Amino acid sequence: MDQVLLYVLTAAALFGIGVYGLLVQTHLLRRILAVNVIGNAVFLLLIAWAVRDGQPPDPVPHAMVLTGIVIAVSATAFALALLRRYHRDTGCVSLEGREDEGG
Binding site for other proteins (CB under 8 A): 15, 19, 22, 28, 31-32, 35, 38-39, 42, 45-46, 49, 59-61, 63-64, 67-68, 71, 74-75, 78-79, 82-83, 85-86, 89-90, 95
- Least spacing, CB of residue 92 vs other proteins, in Å: 8
Structural contact between residues 33 and 76, judged by C-beta atoms closer than 8 angstroms: no
- Least spacing, CB of residue 20 vs other proteins, in Å: 12
- Least spacing, CB of residue 79 vs other proteins, in Å: 6
Residue closer to other proteins (CB basis): 94 or 101:
94
Residue closer to other proteins (CB basis): 89 or 101:
89
- Least spacing, CB of residue 25 vs other proteins, in Å: 11
The C-alpha angle with vertex 35 and arms to 65 and 89, in degrees rounded to 5, equals 130
Measured in residues, the chain has a length of 103
DSSP letter (8 states) at residue 52:
B
What lies within 8 Å, CB to CB, of 86 at 6+ separation is: 28, 92
* Amino acid letter, 25: Q
